[in-house]
Amino acid sequence: MFEAGSGTADITQFTKGIGMMGYGMHFNIVEEIETPLSARAFVIRDSETKKKIVFVNAEIAFITIAIKKEVVKRLHANYPHFGYTDENVILTAQHTHSAPGGYSHYPFYNFSIPGFVPAVFEKITGGIIEAIKHAESDIKPAALYLNTGAFEADQEVAFNRSLPAYNANPEVQKVAEGKTHLAVDREMTLLRIDSPDGIQRAMINWFGVHTTSIPNTNKKICYDNKGYAASYFEKHIRNTTGLNGFTAAFAQGVSGDVSPNFIWDSKKKVMRGKYADPFESARFNGNLQYLKALEIYETALKQSPLKGEIDHVLMYVDFSSVQPDKEFTNGQEVYTGPACHGIAFFRGTAEGPGMPPALGSVALFLSRTVKKYELLRARFASAKERNNIHTKYRIQGKKDIMLEAGAGKILGTSNMSRLIVPSIADKSIATVKKQYKNGSLRTPWIPHVLPLQLIIIGELAIAGFPGEITTVAGKRLKETLLSVLGKRGIKKVVISSYANAYCGYVTTYEEYQCQLYEGGHTVYGEWTLAAFQTAFKKLALQLLEKPENRETETGAKPDEFTEEELMKRSYQS
């Protein structure tokens, strides 16, 4: 039998003038509050073994390694009786792009903020712990119901924003322009939590669609479409049952190439949602998610309650040096490498444009010039340097490299004082140069070592994914996991994105060759998905072993940052 508890806490930090996280644009700053932001926590425990997990969904862009580490550290120090460790705590985000940034210890994610913002980090961390405390105090016997449902084709909820890449996959039925709603996973998975006597307690659902109904010109803190969906659902339960403590989380699924925006705004030159007013579009999309969740929630009682165990495993993997299994590489011997971001990433998407087209063309020319120069230089370099150069370009494939987060280079330059791009071109460049000058900009600029996590709740497996994965890549990863976990009775695998850390995107090999936005942000090379499949399969196999026989220690550890260097990279008002 299961026990469960849920709780909510505020994580809204209003620091006027700081950047929001998601679009990476220096003008996308905090000036007002449209809606508050929350963290929702759900504790689920096996009443017999007392083994438990806590699932948290926060209304921010993504979870960082620093947040996860600090939450676990404080729980262990201040609430040791809760029994939480890195392994049984899963922190996720619903990915709003309209929440404050500055909460990563890695410098790249703070360049546009600009800098690390201690107040934001503290508010998010403290709020998550507060939500977990509320959930702990709410633990009671529970009946869990798992159910799924799909959005009808005419519901304007989700659209593939990178159709040429999607169509490059050999297993898909090609989708025509104007039918991009057919190039996404339209299924929603929902976990309903009741008391054994039928009192409604809580709900978590997973559906993949970007929380970007609100554009990068916004200056108001807002939880966007998924936040509105959660608010509508909780209000509905409150109004129909009188229950004030009901908690509803609209978590992310496979959403890497999935957008809520489907109308081209010829005046603003961006894709937008249903309405010209972005907040109205966010409410419209959130309402669609709410109504579908309510439908699945109400029919969930037709399913048998979940039975089985609570289980969990976690493993750290260094994705800068993975040799994927050949079953995922068509028999080829390949590798991943240190993180590199492509020109396609910096150009942005139709819903969140990046650098201007003219600047993008210049950057592309410079990137290709740097590549030619480095390959020429390799002819006269030492054997080690020659190998490093050739290996980098082989691993990154068709990507036109602009930024090497692993090596700390921009357009081939490691000395930021000599960077050809002037500070006046972008405030983020000014931040890079300032941090380089004060000695706080050390590599890597984004994480190479990532946590992979699997949570078992009866017949449901939740994969904590430290980034965002595209529709077909997600389908392949689910199939990989189910092929293993089906052997222990798992019937459904959910990929819960933006969990525990963030590394960017993961596309299929075929999508990567197109080098659209998502491929430009698949940082460890063209075989990144194969590396994730390899590592997640290895982790899943451990769940077939008895806990005492599991081998999840890899020796890989996330980077540590000193208080001194963080302060040198902190936001200055």
For 455-481, how does the pLDDT look when each residue is reduced to its tens digit (9 = 90+)? 999 999 999 999 999 999 999 999 999
Of 259, 320, 497, 570, the catalytic one is: 259
The whole-number pLDDT of residue 56 equals: 98
For the chain, what percent of residues have pLDDT higher than 70?
100
Establish whether the linkage from the previous residue to 444 is cis, with ω within 30° of 0. Answer: yes
Average pLDDT of the chain is: 97
For the chain, what percent of residues have pLDDT higher than 90?
97
| Angstrom distance (rounded) from CA 446 to CA 120 | 19
The whole-number pLDDT of residue 8 equals: 98
Instruction: Give the model's confidence band at 572: pLDDT under 50 very low, under 70 low, under 90 confident, else very high.
Output: confident
Q: 314-346 in b/e burial notation, b at 16+ Cβ within 10 A? A: bbbbbbbebebeeebbeeeebbbbbbbbbbbbb
**pLDDT reading at 267 higher than 70:** yes
- Contact by Cβ (8 Å): 6, 203: no
Q: 489-528 in b/e burial notation, b at 16+ Cβ within 10 A? A: ebebbbbbbbbbbbbbbbbbbbbbebbbbbbbbbbbbbbb
Average pLDDT over residues 111-129: 97
**pLDDT reading at 426 higher than 90:** no
- Contact by Cβ (8 Å): 524, 339: yes
| Angstrom distance (rounded) from CA 510 to CA 473 | 10
| Angstrom distance (rounded) from CA 105 to CA 126 | 17
- Contact by Cβ (8 Å): 472, 514: no
Structure-block tokens of residue 103: 């909460």
| Angstrom distance (rounded) from CA 443 to CA 316 | 19
Q: Phi then psi for 7, rounded to 5 degrees?
A: -165, 160
| Angstrom distance (rounded) from CA 570 to CA 118 | 8
Angstrom CA distances, 188 to 157, 255, 259, 275, 532, stand at: 12, 12, 15, 24, 23
Instruction: Give the model's confidence band at 407: pLDDT under 50 very low, under 70 low, under 90 confident, else very high.
Output: very high
- The DSSP 8-state label assigned to residue 371 in this structure reads H
For residue 477, give the H/E element and its range. Answer: helix 471-485
Establish whether the linkage from the previous residue to 353 is cis, with ω within 30° of 0. Answer: no
What would the pLDDT profile of 208-227 be if each residue is shown by its tens digit? 999 999 999 999 999 999 99
The whole-number pLDDT of residue 189 equals: 98
Burial of 133 (0-12, 13-18, 19+ CB in 10 A): middle
Average pLDDT over residues 4-20: 97
Spatial CA neighbour of 338 closest among 316, 318, 317, 320:
320
Active site residue 259: yes
What would the pLDDT profile of 341-354 be if each residue is shown by its tens digit? 999 999 999 999 99
Instruction: Give the model's confidence band at 143: pLDDT under 50 very low, under 70 low, under 90 confident, else very high.
Output: very high
3-state secondary structure of 393: helix
Angstrom CA distances, 252 to 150, 187, 200, 210, 227, stand at: 15, 12, 23, 8, 11
- The DSSP 8-state label assigned to residue 413 in this structure reads B
**pLDDT reading at 573 higher than 80:** no
3-class SS shares of the chain: helix, strand, coil, % to 5: 35, 20, 40
Average pLDDT over residues 120-148: 98
| Angstrom distance (rounded) from CA 12 to CA 15 | 10
Burial of 15 (0-12, 13-18, 19+ CB in 10 A): middle
3-state secondary structure of 566: helix
Q: Count CA atoms closer than 13 A to 483's CA, side-chain side.
A: 11
Give 7-32 as a DSSP string.
Answer: EEEE-----TTPBBSSS--TT-B--E
Spatial CA neighbour of 231 closest among 40, 55, 56, 101:
40
What would the pLDDT profile of 303-321 be if each residue is shown by its tens digit? 999 999 999 999 999 999 9
What would the pLDDT profile of 36-57 be if each residue is shown by its tens digit? 999 999 999 999 999 999 999 9
- Contact by Cβ (8 Å): 88, 54: yes
**pLDDT reading at 421 higher than 90:** no
Could you tell me the pTM of the whole model? 0.97
For residue 389, give the H/E element and its range. Answer: helix 383-396
The whole-number pLDDT of residue 424 equals: 77
Instruction: Give the model's confidence band at 423: pLDDT under 50 very low, under 70 low, under 90 confident, else very high.
Output: confident
| Angstrom distance (rounded) from CA 261 to CA 211 | 10
Spatial CA neighbour of 94 closest among 186, 8, 210, 204:
210
Structure-block tokens of residue 261: 């925006």
The whole-number pLDDT of residue 181 equals: 98
